[in-house]
Amino acid sequence: MTACEETQMNAHVDLPAVMAACARRIGTVYLVGAGPGDPDLLTLRAARLLQQADVVVHDHLVGDGVMDLVGPQAERLYVGKQRDRHSMPQSDINRLLVQQARLGRQVVRLKGGDPFVFGRGGEELQVLAAAGVPFQVVPGITAACGVASCAGIPLTHRDHAQSCTFVTGHLKDSTCDLDWATLARPRQTVVIYMGLSGLDEICRQLVAHGLSPDWPAAVVSDGTLPSQQVVCATLATLAAEVGRAGLRSPCLTIVGEVVRLRQTLDWFCTDKALAD
Ligand SMILES: C[S@@+](CC[C@H](N)C(=O)[O-])C[C@H]1O[C@@H](n2cnc3c(N)ncnc32)[C@H](O)[C@@H]1O
């Protein structure tokens, strides 16, 4: 029995006042990172919140393995976005989160990877803050880290890279206004999120701005999952190789000398149960 229900059972209380207080009770929104796909990569806190939530508002990239951890009491609301197929505008998602919290529910807003890395998590929190809705953030493993680990590509191996840059390759209006000169410098690793459709152009720009056509690059699809596929090639050949292999979204592109290390560090076994 909740504290509200308990109070209502007491004959001496002012019932209208109690009802008004209950109506004002507001839930918390937990902005939770679901990691890159493999449910074993969730944080313990994320798993606990999924068990306890009243409602889980989830995205396209949150896989079945993670959703299986949601408690049976929770309502599941899918608000996923896919390229060119926005199922719910961002403003409606923001409104939904505020509404659900104002119903007094504990809301898990579940996003792929980490909610603050190319995930619009910050935008959603700004709306909650403006509406006076309490919130907490639970970080997740971002795709760059999870996917590179499972592809056997150490992003900042110190023999090859002094820095690692995460960029989005999402082409707005078919153009990509990245700082190509900076991205084309050697001794760094560049990780490109959402770059599959513009892969050809991305590789061309990196070569045009100074990297060798032989520079190593890889695309990983469905990283961390049993369906993971990795194509390693060069900037000159990557787009064609990825096309030949038929890789599908979600895909992450990794550019840099560290890609070569996969030849000896590829450890991923699709039947992880055998490896554990
Ligand atoms: C909208 S961004 C969200 C990123 C997420 N917030 C994160 O921290 O990983 C989605 C992109 O992340 C990358 N991505 C996410 N999960 C992936 C996976 N399992 N394998 C490969 N790429 C992935 C893809 O580039 C995909 O297009």
d(CA 151, CA 163): 19
Q: What is the pLDDT of residue 273?
A: 46
Residuewise pLDDT in 10s, the chain (276 residues): 444 454 455 555 566 665 555 556 899 999 999 999 999 999 999 999 999 999 999 999 999 999 999 999 999 999 987 665 657 899 999 999 999 999 999 999 999 999 999 999 999 999 999 999 999 999 999 999 999 999 999 999 999 999 999 999 876 565 678 999 999 999 999 999 999 999 999 999 999 999 999 999 999 999 999 999 999 999 999 999 999 999 999 999 999 999 999 999 999 986 554 455
Write out residues with Cβ below 6 Å of ligand 1.
36-37, 61, 111-114, 117-119, 142-143, 147, 193-194, 220-224, 249-252
Distance 71 CA to ligand 1 centre (A): 25
Q: Which residues are catalytic?
A: 59, 81
Q: What is the pLDDT of residue 200?
A: 96
φ and ψ at 39, to 5 degrees? -65, -20
Q: What is the pLDDT of residue 170?
A: 77
Task: Give the full edge-to-edge strand order of the sheet including 251-255.
Answer: 163-168, 188-193, 251-255, 216-221, 229-234
Closest by CA to 228, choosing from 37, 57, 6, 40, is 37
One DSSP character per residue, 53-66 reads: -SEEEE-TT--HHH
Give nearest CA residue, ligand 1 atom 21.
251
Q: What is the pLDDT of residue 223?
A: 98
Q: Which residue has the tokens 């469905």?
A: 222
- For residues 13 and 7, the answer to whether their CB atoms sit within 8 Å is yes
Distance 1 CA to ligand 1 centre (A): 41
